[in-house]
Amino acid sequence: MFKTPRGLKDILPEEISYWRRLEEKAREIFSLYGYSEIQTPVMEELGLFSRSLGESSEVVQKQMFIIKRKKENLVLRPEGTAAVIRSYLEHGFSKKEGFVKFYYIGPMFRAERPQKGRLRQFHHIGAEAIGSNSPYLDCEIISLSGGFLKEIELKDYEIKINSVGCKDDKDRFTSILKDKLKGKRKILCQDCQRRFNQNTLRILDCKSQNCKETVKGLNLKNAHLCSDCSLHFKKVTELLDKLKIGYSVTPSLVRGLDYYTRTVFEITHKSLGSQDALCAGGRYDNLIRDLGGQDIPAVGLAFGVERLLLAQRVRLKTQHPKIKAFIITLGEKAKEEGFTLLDELRKNKVSSETDYQNRSLKGQMRKASNLGVRFVIIIGEEELKEDRVTLKDMISGRQEKIERKKIIEELERCLGQIPVEN
């Protein structure tokens, strides 16, 4: 027997209604905030991600699914932002319009070891606002994420924000940090010794008590921001206060992807265990230039759909329309007649079903009952002879014979009388 490859999952019919609901809500909220949907392919050139996420990032180094072809290397996209920006540049949006807002929904792929809230194919709902460095936009996008969470009735989350500063700030801060830690490298944990070279800023976010103390002892304060970035961040927090959005400034919050500048934020949920981020995002003012465009600032975010579903206390479903009528037949002649009627019903937009397993009358009734249909149409020898069909209401249990040619009209009349629930 074949199985889904490691870290990949089937989403079965029962489950999919929760997904649909979330997607509907996302579309609703994102358009409310002025974003339009964009879809990019699941594959991109390898270079797009090594350029944008950073050659040294773990995602690029170890986690990409690479598809080798004769002349090109493609990868299954590990995230959405770089792809959206590629599309933005490729289609000349930077020239047509000064400012655009996009959102996207789709699968992402990373070859990580699976655990709770972490799959190899996972799904993002993300948004990018491209073409403005206004702090109002940073605030808006955080507000948007709160709006969405409210809409899907997800509570008890926590918003953490920080500013990593502009490129110069990041570089300067990295070298200050390296400098101060140089003598203390040996006391750091193994992971941090590796981080020292690869991703120095992440040492600030280490969970080891020992490293935390060491970092504390460095007396770093908030000196890493230049005055512009500092002002920008101050404005963002003031605006958040104004909108009464609760957040905590978390200096240790440092994103692992290279492209982030200035504002970064993360929304976490305790119920998720160690993969606790529901949503993360931030500003990326250099990315567009790094990918060959002009100097255009942008800010974005992405939600993890699987994690949203895990964190929702009450999961909201979309109601799929129920089958309304079930045709029961007895004998081959009746089956043919029933099959024709079934076709007619569907052409009249009455969702209907019949038996394909040659069940007994009883079995067919049971099947109809399990499907939750309201009406059953029975065709047997008697009915054939009289050119009529039996129409049974499964709730009242009443049934009557109706002329064959009037059945659709009659059924529609009956369906019209019951209140519409879905």
The window from 23-31, 163-171, 243-251, 296-304 that contacts RNA (CB under 7 A) reads: 296-304
C-alpha distances in Å from residue 160, one per residue of 10, 127, 252, 254, 305: 33, 18, 10, 11, 19
The window from 21-29, 249-257, 316-324, 344-352 that contacts RNA (CB under 7 A) reads: 249-257
Helix (H) or strand (E) holding 307: helix 305-311
Among 21, 26, 40, 79, binds RNA (CB under 7 A): 79
Query: Distance between the two ends of the chain, CA-based, in angstroms?
Result: 38
> Judged by CB, which is closer to RNA: 230, or 291?
291
> Judged by CB, which is closer to RNA: 294, or 410?
410
> Judged by CB, which is closer to RNA: 8, or 316?
8
Confirm or reject binding of residue 106 to RNA (CB under 7 A): no
Question: On the CB side of 289, how many CA atoms lie within 13 Å of its CA?
Answer: 8
* Minimum CB–partner distance for residue 247 and RNA (Å): 15
Among 176, 218, 245, 277, binds RNA (CB under 7 A): 277
Confirm or reject binding of residue 44 to RNA (CB under 7 A): no
Scan residues 138-197 and list those touching RNA (CB under 7 A): 191, 195
> Judged by CB, which is closer to RNA: 242, or 356?
356
Contact, 59 vs 49, CB < 8 A?
Answer: yes
* Minimum CB–partner distance for residue 145 and RNA (Å): 10
C-alpha distances in Å from residue 88, one per residue of 113, 294, 383: 32, 12, 64
Among 21, 86, 101, 202, binds RNA (CB under 7 A): 202
C-alpha distances in Å from residue 9, one per residue of 5, 65, 117: 8, 16, 12
Q: What's the CA gap between 202 and 362, in Å, rounded?
A: 66
Q: What is the DSSP string of 324-384?
A: -EEEEE-SHHHHHHHHHHHHHHHHTT--EEE-SS---HHHHHHHHHHHT-SEEEEE-HHHH
Contact, 229 vs 165, CB < 8 A?
Answer: yes
> Judged by CB, which is closer to RNA: 95, or 116?
116
> Judged by CB, which is closer to RNA: 211, or 240?
211
Among 38, 105, 394, 407, binds RNA (CB under 7 A): 394
Q: What's the CA gap between 325 and 322, in Å, rounded?
A: 9
The window from 19-27, 106-114, 163-171, 342-350 that contacts RNA (CB under 7 A) reads: 106-114
Burial class (CB in 10 A: 0-12, 13-18, 19+), 46: middle
Interface residues toward RNA, by CB under 7 A: 3-4, 6-8, 57-59, 62-63, 79, 110, 112-119, 122, 124, 191, 195, 199, 202, 206-208, 255-257, 266, 273-275, 277-281, 302-304, 306-307, 330, 359-363, 365-370, 376, 378, 380-383, 390, 392, 394-395, 397, 399
